[in-house]
Structures are given as structure tokens and as C-alpha cells.
Amino acid sequence: MDTSPALLLLLTLGFCCPGIYAQSPDIKVRSPRDITQLQVGQKLELECRTDKPTGAFWIHQDKSGTLHFIAFISSVSRVSFEGNQKTSTRFEAWKEGMSYHLVVKSFTPQDQGKYFCMVTINQKLYFSPGQHALLPATTKVAPITPGPTTQSGITEKDSCLKTPDPDSRMQEDLDRFCLVFLWVPLTGLCLLLLQLLANTILL
């Protein structure tokens, strides 16, 4: 599904040259409501409707931003796919009245991205708004770690020193708190013993 040179030239002119590229309110694209929640292997159908009897291009912009030509449907219902092929193993396209249809037969991850319908009228290019077609986002569930358990016979000193995740900032704060909790009573006890020792010497 490589981009053809002719399509690249058309798109370069359309995106870069002022007055050639324009959004037309006369081009409407219809897509399923769940187009951003597609499933692998699902059939996706898009419809481009214009108010003028002209041919239409279907273009796919993948998630990396690369543009791919899919099909051209002429005003007399002739269809050409990539490589000037009459048929495609992955896509179907046809004209019905003023509507140009595109079908992705079996949606795959590489089919994700934006789909555009493009028409040429009076030597100007008109693009439809891009239709985002995406698979559901996969979220990784963090493993559940068991919380700390309380056992009989564990002192407050032990519970402070055995807090999980020693590399975190919270652990450092807890360590400081434990040190203060341990050393302040010990310091007070030492001062009390020194005072008692001094009183004993004086007596």
C-alpha cells in the first residue's frame, strides 16, 4: 500500500499551495459510531457524499503520518486500487448515486489512522474531515501487591524498620521518624541515668 508518485504530487499541491487545498462543506463522510473502538477482523465501511458528479479518491494516513493511496472511484463508477488494480484483497470500493463507498474487509492494526475522501472540482482539491479509525487502547493492569500484615509480638520499632519500598521518599521519611522515635527516648533515659549517678555521687 505504498504511496504512488501521482498521489504524492496531488497531495503536495493540496497541502502546500494556498488556494488549492480547502475544506468543502459539500463533502460529507459517514462512518460507524464505534470507529475508534474497532476490533481486529471487523468490517469497516465509510461513505463519502458530494453534491457534484465527480470522482473521489480514498486516502489513508497511518499513525506515523504516512499517506497511502487506497482507491479512486470515477464518476462513471470505475474503480482503481493501488497499482492500478481493478480489485483488492483488503478493500472494496464503489459508487452509488452521489456517494462513494470504501470498505476495509478485515480491520488490522496497520489499518489504524485517518481516512480521507478527496475530490477535484475546477482544478482544486477538496478534502473531507479525517475519520479516525482505531482499535481500543490496551491498558496494562499493575500487579496487586499484598499489603503489610500485622502479627502479634511485633513492636513499633520493628514495624517502622520493615516498611516496604525502601528506595522511596516515603521510606526515607519513615526512617527519619523511626530514628527520632528511638533516639529521643534513649537520650532522655541516658540523661536521667546521668542525673541519678550525679546525685548518688553527691550523697
C-alpha cell at 195: 542525673
What average pLDDT does this structure show over 70-75? 95
pLDDT band at 71 (very low <50, low <70, confident <90, very high): very high
Reported as a single tens digit per residue, the pLDDT across 137-184 is: 865 555 676 655 555 444 444 444 454 444 555 566 656 655 655 666
Reported as a single tens digit per residue, the pLDDT across 83-103 is: 999 999 999 999 999 899 999
Element (H, E) at 178: helix 169-202
Count of CB atoms within 10 A of residue 25's CB?
Answer: 7
The mean pLDDT of the chain is 76
Q: 44 pLDDT exceeds 90?
A: yes
Residue 60: per-residue pLDDT: 97
| From 17-26, 31-40, 122-131, the region with the lowest mean pLDDT | 17-26
| Burial group, residue 51, by CB count within 10 angstroms (0-12, 13-18, 19+) | exposed
